[in-house]
Amino acid sequence: MIELAIGLGLTLSLIVSELFGVASAGLVVPGYLALYLDQPGRIAATFLVAFATWALVQFGFSRLVVLYGRRRFGVTVLLGFLLNAALDHLQWFLPPEAAGLRAIGYIVPGLIANAALSQGVWITVGLTLLVSATVRLLLMGLARV
């Protein structure tokens, strides 16, 4: 199921990118998010980490050093990784009800933040959720066949 979700996400991301000229937060992100759309806490935590990463790079690191290309990508993914690890460690101090507030993967938030730096937050979030929902619907349809 995971392979199918990633494959569908890659395919739809490429199609959307070619048709509209905007990307859905990294090619693999919609496939991973589609697998977790039934867990809104995980989706919210993923976008929370991605937004924090975006803000720190946009308004922090970019003002201190010149970031572009691979350097910006590397810093963004690394910062997303570190913020996600910090969120995982915070789970020890949160009430049991907040156990679902974990981001999806360690790389996904950084990929979302990197795309948001290039094309804007709202376009990235909207398009990523749209492609993820489409992948989820396709997965549900294929599961019934």
Residue range(s) defining the domain that contains residue 106: 2-144
pLDDT number for residue 94: 72
Kindly write down the DSSP assignment for every residue of 101-132, as one continuous string.
Answer: ---SSSSHHHHHHHHHHHH-HHHHHHHHHHHH
pLDDT digits (tens, 9 = 90+) for 19-49: 998 888 888 999 999 999 999 989 999 999 9
Question: What's this model's pTM, rounded to 2 decimal places?
Answer: 0.90
C-alpha 94/C-alpha 80 separation (Å) is: 20
Summarised one tens digit per residue, pLDDT across range 91-119 is: 777 777 666 778 898 999 999 999 999 99
Domain count, the chain: 1
Give the chain's mean pLDDT.
90
pLDDT of residue 63: 79
